[in-house]
Amino acid sequence: MSEHNHSDSCGCGHDHDYEYDTITLSLDDGSEIECIVLEIFTVDNKEYIALQPEEGSEEEDNIFLYRYIEGGDGEPQLINIEDDDEFEAVADAFEELLDSLEYEEMFDDELDDDYEDEDE
């Protein structure tokens, strides 16, 4: 993992000039995969990160979940979630987050439609 680009939705407190965050993961076989940061979120007072490999990758349909620690040098540290109960809690929290984002997006779309109707 060698790169952490920032976007408006990163939540890391840095200035953002990019469309989205990416992190390069170094895999066990020595290869690397570029992933989009979907979200950094908290479960039981610990931070976690959800990553999705960029389009065109063999893994693009997968979501990777890691424990997330912001390093003192600005480089994030990603730690594998070894405990099954912890992983299940993190996966559930991420699903709930996605559900709430989809609901908010749906609600925002309805409001936008209402405003467009009023303008006509």
pLDDT tens sequence across 33-48: 999 999 999 999 999 9
Let me know if residue 5 belongs to a domain.
Answer: no
Q: Which domain holds residue 31?
A: 22-119
DSSP H helices in the chain: 84-119
Let me know if residue 8 belongs to a domain.
Answer: no
Domains identified in the chain, total number? 1
Q: First-to-last CA distance in the chain?
A: 50
Q: What is the pLDDT of residue 93?
A: 96
- With beta carbons less than 8 A apart as the criterion, state whether 23 and 32 touch: no
Q: What is the pLDDT of residue 111?
A: 53
What is the model's pTM? 0.67
pLDDT band of residue 79 (cuts 50, 70, 90) is very high
How far apart CA 8 and CA 10 sit, in angstroms, is: 6
Residue type, 38: L
